[in-house]
Structure 1
Amino acid sequence: MITNNEELSDQSTYQRLIGKLIYLTMTRPDISFSVQNLSQFLQRPKESHMEATIRIVRYLKNQPGQGILLSSKENSTITDYCDADWAACPLTRKSVSSYLVKMGESLITWKAKKQTTVSRSSAEAEYRSLANTVTELVWILGLLKEIGREVATPVKIYSDSKAALQIVAIQFTTRELNT
């Protein structure tokens, strides 16, 4: 596939379209990562960026029922899934952390973001992702407690990195020995 790397003559059209897609990611997490990547080129977009943006719009048109569905069943169990993509950005070599939090069967929050520092290993990237996830969980649990919502504990966090889970286990064991 040949891509056109010439700069766009009308950047404002691209910027407005990306802005609308960013707003749409609030209910369509399936496009979050792609839109986040394209939003990095708002200042100097190229033809290839606009072509990719149009592909997202076509995808949305062909998949109208892919939004978030909330369950009507009441469930106070919180489940969290996290992952990281080591050195995912080819420009900066930074990893991308992501997580999603579900309350019962309903998705309540999610995030995919480039990490602020370059990780030296996939285990380090996964550990940073776990740390970001726990930070979000602490905030969510505090919010739910503040509004008087009961939450089943402990909260389950799923990660596919055995190395990151071992780092966490070692840290908790070390804290228990020091207290």
Structure 2
Amino acid sequence: MLITGSSLKLIQDTKEALQQAFKMKDLGELKYFLRMEFTRSNVGILMHQRKYALELIFEVGMTAAKPVGTPIDINVKLTSKVYDEHVKKEQVGEDDPLVDQTMCQRLIGKLLYIKRQSGQGLLLSSSSDGLVTTFCDADWASCVLTRKSVTGYMVKVGQSLVSWKTKKQTIVSKSSAEAEYRSLASTVLELVWLLGLLKEVGAEVQLPVHVYSDSKSTIQIAANPVYHE
């Protein structure tokens, strides 16, 4: 459990109340949480996943002794561990060799990238101007199996990236404008929640918040929703 707030006394009172009701241990300052590692310095907090990335690479057999030269071993392990989880959810025949090969190639590419960049992370700066900036986009009909679009957004407070997401939309969008509009709606929904959270912890935020979208049709719909079906 991660406990945070604007009052140290309130945090301590919360810990004591929880310890009276449950058997628990106070681990002190945040260092490792939900596969995320946190390293502190005067500049800010570096958030990374090096430990989890190395565990993932080791699990699929991509050790230093078998880097890139043994794609067959990697294919076998990926097919058995990951293929069922990703492909069967899309209700695709598990005996489809084309889908099998494509999925494995994509996953191998991602794992090779993780292997090379395991030490990369995000810096949460200790200084901020309180300006919230948001970028959102949609990849129309990008899923080759379902033709569903993908929503993507990122939210920055000052120069620090605090929220990001890439997720397949729940329904098939008939146009790129519809896909972009759904992406924009999801982004604003996240912003409403995030601004409430920042207010609770006492963070100063400049209003209004700037949301950037690259779809002209979506901007027109958002500006005048009355004359659009």
Distance across 2 between alignment mates of 1:54 and 1:164: 36
**1:1-179 matches, cutoff 5 A:** 14-15=81-82, 40-41=86-87, 46=100, 48-171=102-225
Question: How many residue pairs end up in the alignment?
Answer: 144
Q: Higher Cα Rg: structure 1 or 2?
A: 2
Cα RMSD for the two superposed structures: 2.6
State how far apart, in whole Å, the 2-side matches of 1:107 and 1:117 are: 28
Identity of aligned residues (%): 52
CA-to-partner distance for each residue in 1:40-86, whole Å, 9 max, x for gaps? Answer: 23775945534432332221222345322222322211000000011
CA distance in 1: counterparts of 2:143 and 2:105, whole angstroms: 20
Unaligned runs of 5+ in 1: 1-7, 19-37, 175-179
For residues 90 and 49 of structure 1, what CA distance do their matches in structure 2 show?
Answer: 11
SS of corresponding position for 1:84: strand
TM-score (norm 1): 0.70
